Amino acid sequence: MPISSPGLGSGLDVTSIVSQLMEVERQPLVRLDGQEALVQAEISAYGNLKGGLSSMQSSLTKLQDALTFQSTTAASSDSAVLDVSSDTDAVTSSYSVTVNRLAQQHKLGSSEFASTASFGGSAGDVLTLIVGAKSFTLDLSSAKTLSEIQEAINVDGNQTGLTAGLITGDSGNQTLVLTSGDTGYDKRVQLSFGGMLDANTFNFSMLNRDADNQLLATENELDASLSIDGVAITRGSNKITDAVEGLTFTLNQVGQASASVTRDSDTAVSAVEEFIATHNALKEQISSLSGAGLSGGILRSIDSLMRGALNSALSGLGEYSYISELGVTSDSETGKLQLDSELFVAALEENPNSVIGFFSNEDNGFSYRLDAQLEGFLQSGGTLDSIIASANSRVDGIERSREALQRRMATVEQRYLRQFGALDTLLASLSTTSEYLTTQLDAISKISLRNDN
């Protein structure tokens, strides 16, 4: 590299000269930076590959779960009358449901009293509210109005779930209303009195009415009443989970509706499609990494693993030995998978246990076998972790080499500065001597010319 400077002697541009020399010295550092960039790109690529494998492994979780293939869906012919839902215990069937009566929260209303009327005031006067196994006792030894009684009932310390309301009619008189927090006969409101108080003190009566707006005849009618295929059922809740195994009926109003249960293949189809999507994404990733120059050995191993999983026969699991028999096939050119959902659904409907066994058998099922193979690459300290650790060691080695070079260059730069500083001093000295000699020679020349004349 040519060295440029503005002049010689004391005008020597030492800083510029040393800077240009150091650019040459830094070339090994530039090469190290390039090497590190390549290794870092390799680490990133292996990290992305690990992410792709992890996504595929995660997709196997649903396929390992037998419930994925046992989903059902339930429907009501009239959701205004009832809603119905199902779980995996439900069997495909249909039911005729007649809702005769909805379960209600028990309500009791007192007689009407003036807002100034007070109750109690004698020692031992108490009103005890009972709902199920819980009770709350109100001390009325100091007389209270209905408004004060309402306030005393609606406190956090009342754990019965019961609430008190107050209705003021056109006459200005008030009615105290007690409402249970839950539906049904077993959660009805019961009262007991102490001291001078008795049932006649407030004269509570039931306020609940049926669908025809008629007062309920008995507290037993607080329970829901329905029939399923003619079988009479009475429950304390409008959400009934124990009448038909696997089904939940939610009663909305009196009426008749049919409930149907069918197998829901959508959950299983979605799970298989998710696996296919992660497989195809990994295939694209492998192709891309191969083109980027990543080590072919690991890529070939993964590709071989996937092809082996798809093409290996599984035995002893039922009617199916190959995943292609369930509609999952690969494109001959790209190797990507596609799903014939009609073939898959047909297999699921005709031989559900065989489909479940093929995917979910813990000993030899497709999902468990592939999961175990992927784990060899993904586990802590596994194949990919070892490769990434080796690459990180190379980065550490490059960093050590860089630090050593930087220390050497600092020494070289100081040496250059000393050498060219000394040269600058020397040139300055020579320049001064040259100027002195030139002056002396000029003087001698002038003397000689005078003598000649």
Q: Is residue 181 scored above 50 in pLDDT?
A: yes
Q: How far apart are CA 361 and CA 438, in angstroms?
A: 105
Would you tell me how many other CB atoms lie within 10 Å of the CB of residue 332? 6
Q: What is the mean pLDDT of the chain?
A: 87
Distance, CA of 59 to CA of 274 (rounded, Å):
6
Which band of pLDDT confidence, cut at 50, 70 and 90, is reported for residue 291? low
The stretch 1-26 carries a mean pLDDT of: 63
Instruction: Note the pLDDT of residue 301.
Output: 84
Instruction: In whole angstroms, give the CA distance from residue 285 to residue 301.
Output: 14
Over residues 102-123, mean pLDDT: 97
What's the CA gap between 104 and 130, in Å, rounded?
17
Whether pLDDT at 2 is above 60: no
Residue 83 pLDDT more than 50? yes
3-state secondary structure 146-200: HHHHHHHHCCCCCCCCCEEEEEECCCCCEEEEEEEEEECHHHCEEEEEECCCCHH
pLDDT tens column, 168-180: 999 999 999 999 9
The pLDDT score that the predictor gives to residue 412 is 78
325-365 pLDDT per residue, tens = 999 999 888 889 999 999 999 999 899 999 999 999 998 99
Task: Convert the pLDDT of each residue in 261-280 to its tens digit.
Answer: 998 899 999 999 999 999 99
pLDDT of residue 6: 38
Q: Give Cα separations from 139 to 118, 142, 213, 271, 322 (angstroms).
A: 13, 7, 36, 62, 76
431 pLDDT above the threshold of 70 = no
**pLDDT at residue 427, rounded to an integer:** 67
**For residue 117, what is the DSSP state?**
-
Under CATH, which architecture does the 1-71+265-453 domain have? Up-down Bundle (1.20)
CA distance 281 to 303: 12
pLDDT above 70 as % of the chain: 91
At residue 348, the pLDDT reads: 93
**Stretch 365-376: mean pLDDT:** 91
Q: Is residue 70 helix, strand or coil?
A: coil
CA distance 288 to 147: 78
Q: CA 427 from chain center: how many Å?
A: 75
* Number of neighbours of residue 52 by Cβ within 10 angstroms: 20
Asked which of 14-18, 90-94, 282-286 is least confident by mean pLDDT, the reply is 14-18
pLDDT recorded at residue 10: 53
Largest Cα span, the chain: 162
Residue with tokens 């002049």: 7
Distance CA(320)–CA(338), nearest Å, equals 18
Asked whether residue 19 carries a pLDDT value surpassing 90, the answer given is: no
Task: Tell whether the model's pLDDT for residue 192 goes beyond 50.
Answer: yes
| Higher pLDDT pick, 12 / 325 | 325
Share of residues in the chain with pLDDT > 90 (%):
58
Instruction: Give the residue with greater pLDDT, 58 vs 297.
Output: 58
Residue pointed to by tokens 């494109």: 331
Max mean pLDDT range (39-43, 192-196, 425-429):
192-196
State the average pLDDT over residues 242-266: 95
Three-state secondary structure readout of 414-436: HHHHHHHHHHHHHHHHHHHHHHH
What end-to-end distance do the CA atoms of the chain give, in Å? 56
Residue spans of the domains in the chain: they are 1-71+265-453, 72-102+223-263, 105-221
pLDDT at 5 over 60: no
Indicate the burial class of 147 (C-beta count within 10 angstroms; 0-12, 13-18, 19 or more).
middle
pLDDT at 293: 56
b/e 201-222 (16+ beta carbons within 10 angstroms → b): bbebebbbeeeeeeebeeeebb
Looking at residue 359, its pLDDT comes to 95
* Predicted local confidence at residue 4, as pLDDT: 41
DSSP one-letter string for 254-310: SEEEEEEEEE--HHHHHHHHHHHHHHHHHHHHHHHHHHTT--HHHHHHHHHHHHHHH
Tens digit of each residue's pLDDT (9 = 90 or more) over 374-417: 988 887 777 776 777 777 777 777 788 777 787 887 887 788 77
d(CA 81, CA 224): 13
The two structure tokens encoding residue 311: 């093409």
Residue 453 has pLDDT above 70, yes or no: no
- Name the residue with higher pLDDT: 6 or 209: 209
